[in-house]
Amino acid sequence: LFKPASRRPPGGVRMDSSAAPSSSSSSSTSGYHYRRRQKDKIVVIMGATGCGKSKLSIDLGTRFQSEIINSDKMQIYKGLDITTNKIPFQDRLGVPHHLLGVFDPEDGELGPSEFRLTAGLAISDIVSRQKLPLVVGGSNSFIHALVVDRFNPELDVFSGASVSTRLRYECCFIWVDVSLPLLCDYLCKRVDEMLDSGMFEELSEYRRWKDPMSQPGLLKAIGVPEFDRYFKKYPPGTGEGEWDEGRRGAYEEAAREIKENTCQLAKRQIGKIKRLKRAGWDLQRVDATEAFREAMKVRTASSDVKKKKRKKKRWMEVWERDVMTPSMGIVNRFLEE
Ligand code: ATP
């Protein structure tokens, strides 16, 4: 399925920018001579937190000669890898990642304009090496800032300002969608799993050595504010062996808030994606709901190894059928255009 770079470089298929109307266009009558500008091709994988964007990006990244640019505004910083859910190194299967865990949270919050600039440079670099840039992450304000032809940081498109459909890249937008109630069920389980696999210890260490106020980049990462009250009452490194009722209650309250805020984030992200779609962005939706149902069955399966394996196989089949194969078709058609 991969088109060898020598035959069809992903960024090599160029087209006129929106500023290059045909000779019959009314704009050309003004006498202004439009320069034929070229656009690079990029694939953008969008979707709410937890919907499977990272998994799909690796599926595509291993099949097309491509490199991934992270567009999650919390994963961009160094630190809190479990809390912000960065894809572990071994799961990247050799696909290079850019802007993942690279900025120091101490240096302040990276804004959309800076993201536009740095991600734009990464795209140029990837394209110059004849590879396909895959932009992957849930921060729709970052994606918007990156791809629009002219970005105005003063306008907040998600609070009323109009969304531009004039883009500076030739974009293939894939939207991984999952029914929200099912996604929220999954996100609650994922928070429990993250806490079990070291999120609490990570936040505790972070709190022990850093004052969150000195780390503006990560100040709003879900998990940091939610555990604030807990750590004020039970400072990290003190009495961790003693899980009395008070400590347990404060911990459970923080976990509950994290679940609630993660579901709210997912809901907001879906709202923003729908807004971009309504505004005319050509988002191609792939429905991962059925695959999610199967994934949930694996999580809740008994400890019977054979049964679990069968359920996992079924999940992979449905993912391949509903998400991976359609997405590969979308990218193939996009590269053929
Ligand atoms: P907004 O306009 O609200 O800033 P956005 O689209 O720019 O939205 P989002 O990615 O939706 O950015 O992130 C909004 C907030 O969600 C973050 O400030 C943070 O609190 C939380 N968040 C997003 N991604 C993560 C993550 N990976 N880990 C922890 N918290 C996150």
Tens-place pLDDT, residues 187-236: 999 999 999 999 999 999 999 888 888 899 999 999 999 999 899 999 98
* pLDDT, average across residues 266-272: 97
Atom of ligand 1 nearest to the CA of 269: 11
- Tell whether the model's pLDDT for residue 11 goes beyond 70: no
Judge if the beta carbon of residue 17 lies within 6 A of ligand 1: no
Amino acid at 277: K
pLDDT confidence tier of residue 33, bands split at 50, 70 and 90:
very low
Side-chain half-sphere of 102: how many Cα atoms within 13 Å?
13
- Tell whether the model's pLDDT for residue 1 goes beyond 50: no
- Tell whether the model's pLDDT for residue 30 goes beyond 80: no
Q: How far is CA 15 from the centre of its chain?
A: 27
Determine the distance separating the centroid of ligand 1 and the alpha carbon of 69, expressed in angstroms: 17
Measured by CA distance, the residue closest to atom 5 of ligand 1 is 139
CA–CA dist 132, 115 (Å, integer): 19
pLDDT of residue 37: 53
Which of the listed residues 44, 49, 51, 74 should we mutate to test ligand 1's pocket, taking the one with most ligand atoms within 8 A of CB?
74
* pLDDT, average across residues 157-177: 92
Three-class secondary structure assignment of the chain: CCCCCCCCCCCCCCCCCCCCCCCCCHHHHHCCCCCCCCCCEEEEEEECCCCCHHHHHHHHHCCCCEEEEECCCCCCECCCCCCCCCCCHHHHCCCCEECCCCECHHHCCCCHHHHHHHHHHHHHHHHHCCCEEEEECCCHHHHHHHHECCCCCCCCHHHCCCCCCCECCEEEEEEEECCHHHHHHHHHHHHHHHHHHHHHHHHHHHHHHCCHHHCHHHCCCCCCCCCHHHHHHCCCCCCCCCCCHHHHHHHHHHHHHHHHHHHHHHHHHHHHHHHHHHCCCCEEEEECHHHHHHHHHHHHCCCCHHHHHHHHHHHHHHHHHHHHHHHHHHHHHHHHC
* pLDDT, average across residues 61-78: 97
- In this prediction the ipTM stands at 0.93
pLDDT confidence tier of residue 82, bands split at 50, 70 and 90:
very high
- Tell whether the model's pLDDT for residue 160 goes beyond 90: no
CA–CA dist 216, 206 (Å, integer): 13
- Tell whether the model's pLDDT for residue 64 goes beyond 90: yes
How big is the chain by its Cα radius of gyration, in Å?
22
Above pLDDT 70, what percent of the chain?
Answer: 89
**Cβ atoms within 10 Å, residue 44:** 23
pLDDT of residue 330: 98
pLDDT confidence tier of residue 28, bands split at 50, 70 and 90:
very low
Judge if the beta carbon of residue 269 lies within 6 A of ligand 1: yes
* pLDDT, average across residues 30-40: 55
CA–CA dist 329, 25 (Å, integer): 34
Judge if the beta carbon of residue 204 lies within 6 A of ligand 1: no
Verdict on whether the full-model pTM lies above 0.90: no
Parallel, antiparallel or unpaired: strands 170-177 and 41-47 = parallel
**Which of the residue ranges 69-78, 95-104, 300-309 would you say has the lowest mean pLDDT?**
300-309
pLDDT confidence tier of residue 31, bands split at 50, 70 and 90:
very low
Determine the distance separating the centroid of ligand 1 and the alpha carbon of 188, expressed in angstroms: 17
Whole-number average pLDDT of the chain: 88
Those residues with Cβ within 8 angstroms of residue 176's Cβ, 6 or more apart along the chain or in another chain: 45, 46, 47, 51, 52, 53, 56, 286, 288, 323
- Tell whether the model's pLDDT for residue 38 goes beyond 60: yes
More confident residue, 243 or 189: 189
Measured by CA distance, the residue closest to atom 31 of ligand 1 is 221
What the block records as the tokens of 199 is 């999120």
* pLDDT, average across residues 118-142: 97
Measured by CA distance, the residue closest to atom 18 of ligand 1 is 220
- Tell whether the model's pLDDT for residue 240 goes beyond 90: no
Determine the distance separating the centroid of ligand 1 and the alpha carbon of 249, expressed in angstroms: 27
pLDDT confidence tier of residue 294, bands split at 50, 70 and 90:
very high
Above pLDDT 90, what percent of the chain?
Answer: 76
* pLDDT, average across residues 167-189: 97
More confident residue, 184 or 23: 184
Which of the listed residues 70, 103, 139, 147 should we mutate to test ligand 1's pocket, taking the one with most ligand atoms within 8 A of CB?
139
More confident residue, 24 or 159: 159
CA–CA dist 236, 220 (Å, integer): 19
Judge if the beta carbon of residue 53 lies within 6 A of ligand 1: no
Residues in the chain: 337
- Tell whether the model's pLDDT for residue 156 goes beyond 90: no
| CB-based contact 293:195 (threshold 8 Å) | no
